[in-house]
Copies of this chain bind each other. A is one copy, B any other.
Amino acid sequence: MPSSKKVNKRVLVTGGCGFLGSQLCDQLLARPDLELLICVDNLWTGRKENVAHIRDPRFKKVFCGVEDFRSDHRFDEVFHLASPASPPWYMREPARTISANIVGAMRTLELLEDGGRFCYTSTSEVYGEPEVSPQPESYRGAVDCTGPRSSYDEAKRVTESLLFETRRTRGLELRVARLFNTFGPRMRADDGRAISNFIVQALMGGPVRVQGDGSQSRSWGYVSDVIEGLSRYFWRDTFAYDGPLNIGNDREVTVLDVATYVAELVGGREIVFEAPMPHDPTHRCPDLTMARRVLPGWTCEVPYEEGVRLTVEWMKQELSDPARSARVAGASGVAG
């Protein structure tokens, strides 16, 4: 809960219909000090279904790109999440990805009330193909700024720069969280990343398709744990460390282990191997030293096995809608 005194807060969430954004909106609406929550989303990767359950009169949806969002309000809190996060999505539309992040940040900074607080969801991808493991926040990264994953990685990096430099030159209450791989309910069935792909492929009866040899590792954080860490970070008023802050699960699991687990859980699915994604990082694991210092008591509590089970249950319901199931079957994410 926020410790700041002001009540009747106006809050803006960009990407509020997304996988993470919608769960953040749910959590924000539990706050008694909130007067207005505007969710901006252009439904590129976000979905109306993710917020369809919200009946709270303080909640307003605006369906447009964050770059085009105009408002008579200024906001006490801005959460800038608008961005695709999955390689097939951002690699298809790199210019749009860059714009959502950096132009979106420029736009929403203008809408922040003086003394307001700004939260940006950056990414472990700022570390690129890391030469150190686990990755501390001080690691400068190894991103190929001309490569096929660069739009996302560099958009996140330059947006961090804008925000930290705005703080240095003009002052800004800033929370930049570098989120590591996150999964769970409300991921798109056609998201295109490993866990959701494997689950959808298994549920639809096909083989589970591993890109590369599956030895690449990720640190899979379940969505409720990640949202909890993000929220605690945002609402802590003072701490000695200025950010950015790694948030994620530091249990590293290979992609092949996840595929095997999903194939067995759903029951007897074959695993097949396909061409690797270009520039796919071979490993990824957060150094959580700073997170433990800044967020005492917070930790990722949901093991990936349980998270996968919960996601399988949710995805079953998603796919039980015949129209959606047909769309998913045709999408590239499931094919590859």
A contacts, CB < 8 Å to B: 91-95, 98-99, 102-103, 106, 109, 126, 128, 140-148, 150-151, 153-155, 157-158, 160-162, 164-166, 168-169, 176, 243-244
Whether the Cβ atoms of A161 and B103 lie closer than 8 Å is: no
In the A-B complex, the 3 residue pairs with the closest CB atoms: A94-B165, A150-B161, A158-B158
User: How many Å from the CB of A129 to the closest CB on chain B?
Assistant: 8
Partner of A160, one of B102, B106, B146, B243: B146
Q: In the complex, what distance in Å separates the CA atom of A141 from the CA atom of B160? A: 17
Q: How far does the alpha carbon of A43 sit from the alpha carbon of B162 in the complex, in Å?
A: 22
B99/A169 in contact, CB under 8 A: no
Neighbouring B residues of A153 by C-beta, 8 Å: 161
CB-based contact B164/A150 at 8 Å? yes
Nearest-CB distance from A111 to chain B (Å)? 15
In-complex Cβ contact of A94 among B94, B99, B151, B162 (8 A): B162
Also in contact, A99 and B106, with CB within 8 A (given A151-B165, A161-B151): yes
Copies in the complex: 2
Closest Cβ–Cβ distance, residue A332 to chain B (whole Å): 15
User: Could you tell me if A145 and B141 are in contact, using CB atoms closer than 8 angstroms?
Assistant: yes
- Whether A146 lies near B244 (C-beta < 8 A) is yes
Q: A168-B148, A244-B146 are in contact. Are A158 and B98 (CB under 8 A)?
A: yes
Looking at the complex, which one of B146, B154, B162 makes contact with A151 (CB distance below 8 Å)?
Answer: B162
Other-chain residue from B106, B143, B244 in contact with A140 (beta carbon distance below 8 A): B143
Nearest residue (CB) in B for A152 is B161
A164's partner among B91, B106, B146, B165 (CB-CB below 8 A) is B146
Q: Given the complex of chains A and B, what is the CA–CA distance between A91 and B140 in angstroms?
A: 19
Q: Which residues of B contact A150 (CB under 8 A)?
A: 160-161, 164-165
Known: A106-B95, A161-B94, A165-B94. A126 touches B145 (CB 8 A): yes
Whether the pair B165, A148 counts as a contact (CB closer than 8 A) is yes
Contacts of A146 in B (CB 8 A): 160-161, 164, 176, 243-244
Q: What are some 8 contacts across the A-B interface (CB < 8 A)?
A: A98-B161, A98-B162, A128-B140, A141-B143, A145-B164, A150-B165, A155-B161, A158-B158
| Nearest-Cβ distance from residue A76 to partner chain B, whole angstroms | 21
Q: How far is the CA of A25 from the CA of B143 in the complex (A)?
A: 34
Chain B residues contacting A99 (CB-CB under 8 Å) are 106
Closest residue of chain B to A169 (Cβ to Cβ) is B94
